[in-house]
């Protein structure tokens, strides 16, 4: 998960990108966090489907309440004199492998800037 800018020279980044890599290709996936449901259905950012399924799925939420809001907590890492902030949150995933096989899981993710 990361803050996603619309271009490398953007002054303001107001989207969150979420991506998952899967061992077994899936038809669709949904990420849920901060009371939002985000379909990982970005045609541009996900891999090309093979037989209608993907091993890499990505999606974007805009505007992205990224730093210091909602469930995103600031995690100070010991890099540099002042450290850097990386928001963390709990994400629930619903992954549909097709033919009625759906899996639900959750994970804690660390958000990074400059992705997407």
Q: Residue ranges of the domains in the chain?
A: 2-110
Segment 31-62, tens digit of pLDDT:
998 778 899 999 999 999 999 999 999 998 87
Q: Is the pTM of this model over 0.85?
A: no
Residue 56, C-beta contacts closer than 8 angstroms, at least 6 positions apart: 19, 20, 21, 22, 46, 47
Taking only the tens place, the pLDDT of each residue in 51-103 is 999 999 999 887 655 544 544 444 344 344 555 556 667 899 999 999 999 99
- Cβ contacts of residue 10 below 8 Å, gap of 6+? none
Which bin fits 70, alpha (ψ -120 to 50), beta or left (φ > 0)?
left
At 78, list the tokens.
């010991």
CB proximity list for 111: less than 8 A, separation 6 or greater: 1, 2, 3, 16, 66, 72, 86, 87, 88, 89
């Amino acid at each position: 998960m990361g803050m996603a800018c619309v271009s490398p020279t953007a002054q303001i980044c107001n989207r969150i990108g979420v991506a998952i890599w899967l061992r077994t290709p899936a038809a669709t996936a949904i990420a849920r966090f901060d009371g939002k449901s985000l379909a990982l259905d970005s045609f541009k950012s996900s891999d090309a489907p093979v037989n209608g399924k993907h091993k890499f799925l990505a999606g974007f939420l805009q505007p992205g309440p990224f730093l210091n809001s909602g469930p995103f907590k600031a995690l100070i890492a010991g890099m540099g004199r002042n450290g850097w902030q990386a928001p963390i949150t709990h994400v629930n995933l619903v992954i549909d492998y097709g033919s009625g096989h759906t899996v639900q899981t959750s994970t804690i993710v660390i958000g990074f800037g400059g992705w997407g």
